[in-house]
Amino acid sequence: MPSTRLLNMKKSVNPHRPTALPGSAKLNETGFWRTQRPIFNEELCTGCTRCAKLCPDACIIMRLNKEGKLKAQPDYDYCKGCGICAAECPFSAITMKPE
């Protein structure tokens, strides 16, 4: 069965560049074309929420870890790898790694 992300793409003029269908961002996973991904260091993360607030795709979710502390977790299905979170983290808890 084709993946969800392929089902939600329509044919475009250029077959090497599919175009996402209009609609909810939840239907159009965009993370598969990024060239770098953010790596979150949970030990350095203070839970300040700055990365989540500044993420243009709202793909950073703040969750409580096992110790009950607020930590950032990315949703890689929607992360485009822009690097804003890493650039803006005041604690250097996020680094960008090539895919």
The CATH number of the domain holding residue 39 is 3.30.70.20
| Model pLDDT, residue 10 | 46
> Span 51-71, mean pLDDT?
94
* Res 7: pLDDT: 46
Residue 28: partners with Cβ closer than 8 Å, 6 or more residues away: 5, 8, 20, 21
Q: Is residue 63 one of the residues assigned to a domain?
A: yes
**Domain presence at residue 8:** no
Nearest to 76 by CA among 32, 25, 28: 32
The domain of 59 spans 30-98
For residue 60, tell me if it sits in a domain.
Answer: yes
The encoded tokens of residue 62 equal: 């703040």
Whether the model pTM is above 0.85:
no
Whether the per-residue pLDDT at 5 is higher than 50: the answer is: no
Looking at the predicted structure, is the pLDDT value of residue 23 above 70?
A: no
The more confidently predicted of residues 14 and 71 is: 71
